[in-house]
Amino acid sequence: MPLMKSWVASANTADTSFPLNNLPYGVFSVGDNEPRCGVAIGDMILDMSRCEAAGLITLDADGAFDLPFWNDVIELGADVWAALRARLIELLSEGSAHEADVKEHLAPMADATMHMPFLVGEFTDFYAGKHHAMNVGTMFRGPENALPPNWLHIPIGYNGRASTVVVSGTDITRPNGQTKAPDADIPSFGPCKRLDIELEMGAIIGGTTQMGQPISVQEADDLIFGYVLLNDWSARDIQAWEYQPLGPFQAKAFATSISPWIVTKDALEPFRASTPAREKDLLLYLREPGPMLYDIDLEVTMAPAGKAASTIARTNYNLMYYSAAQQLTHHASSGCAMTAGDLIGSGTISGPEKSERGSLLELTWGGKEPMTLDTGETRSFIEDGDTMTLKGAAKGDGYQIGFGTCVGTIKPAVKFP
């Protein structure tokens, strides 16, 4: 699909993340105004609340945009999502008869503060990237036993904390926790010493399933509203001590960052990609009827306090072993109820090359191979003051579909007790 032209000039440049082809959804405020729903177009934000008040956009739910979240729209379903996108394209396309009216409701993106784009109902994180699983498994169990026996049959996941999912730009406090040194008789408590990121994509569920109701992979894909970049911050030393036998807990509960813009599934449609060939056939309920991944280039940068950022990894979402639709299908297969606004993390996205690894645990091989940044500093894990940034875009013919950045700066741990 070629670039769609808009009367908003900044939306027609090859370097913008927000052309007319994209139209992602976020929540913004300007000055002392209350946060409300907005749509990114070039370097501007379309104020959806004002457009609704002016009669330019109507929905079945009155006042759905005069809110600091998109959940009311998310709950309306795929037909409404499609109609809304079609109306936005009509309003913002080059030659639109509505240009003069709509122009009154644009705000410069540079003047805006971004907020959480939706209320997170539940958060589930998966472990669904094979290269990541092989790297981590090899570190701890050797290459012969890198993958657990179930890994090639089911997307492994765990229930996380919705309460600490935060929008890009939110500072992250280094967590305290209990750890145990190999030569110590008893554990100790204090700040995490092996703080890490996990480069992921997040899928936002746009529909509800009833308790006891399984869904097919196609039905699961139909329920996905859109995607965000997701950084599931990880305290590796805390995790190493606590995760036996029930898995991650405090090591993952302290923070998860997401990008400020929800990129809709419709915007990503031209970039669909297939999951890889299977080493073992999946059970029937997990088999995909078509491509369910997306070709999205991803990048991670690291910047020490006051220093320039260094790119430390580049990879692609199309390297995942399981798609978000498969993850959702497996999640609901037991009869677990899913609700609109639930968030599903893909798991760390890594590729076969060292430069494609989506965590510092892999990049420095558990801290044994420290990396040198462009500024000369070395890092095994994240230090206080470091800023980690996730970027992502699907690349089209003369345009890109971007998500905005997913940024977090590490602040020192709170002294406790």
Cα–Cα distance measured from residue 202 to residue 44, given in angstroms and rounded to the nearest whole number: 24
For residue 177, what are the β-bridge partners?
190
Residue 212: partners with Cβ closer than 8 Å, 6 or more residues away: 335, 337
Residue 355 CA to its chain's centroid (Å): 20
Cα–Cα distance measured from residue 347 to residue 219, given in angstroms and rounded to the nearest whole number: 21
Decide: 120 and 344 in contact? Cβ < 8 Å.
Answer: no
- Closest CA relative to residue 326, chosen from 154, 185, 136: 154
Cα–Cα distance measured from residue 150 to residue 147, given in angstroms and rounded to the nearest whole number: 8
- Closest CA relative to residue 300, chosen from 342, 349, 264: 349
Long-range interactions of 311-314: CB distance < 8 A, separation 24+: 312/360, 312/363, 312/371, 312/373, 313/199, 313/355, 313/356, 313/357, 313/358, 313/363, 314/355, 314/356
Tokens of 292: 């369910």
Decide: 155 and 128 in contact? Cβ < 8 Å.
Answer: yes
Instruction: State the pairing for strand pair 44-47/106-108.
Output: antiparallel
Cα–Cα distance measured from residue 75 to residue 71, given in angstroms and rounded to the nearest whole number: 6
Decide: 265 and 225 in contact? Cβ < 8 Å.
Answer: yes
Which of 132, 153, 330, 331 is labelled catalytic? 132
Residue 47: partners with Cβ closer than 8 Å, 6 or more residues away: 36, 38, 105, 106, 107
Decide: 320 and 277 in contact? Cβ < 8 Å.
Answer: no
Tokens of 114: 């971004």
Cα–Cα distance measured from residue 331 to residue 334, given in angstroms and rounded to the nearest whole number: 7
Helix (H) or strand (E) segment spanning residue 302: strand 297-303
- Closest CA relative to residue 157, chosen from 12, 338, 341: 338
Residue 331 known to be catalytic: no
Backbone angles phi, psi at 318, to 5 degrees: -70, 0
Catalytic residues: 132
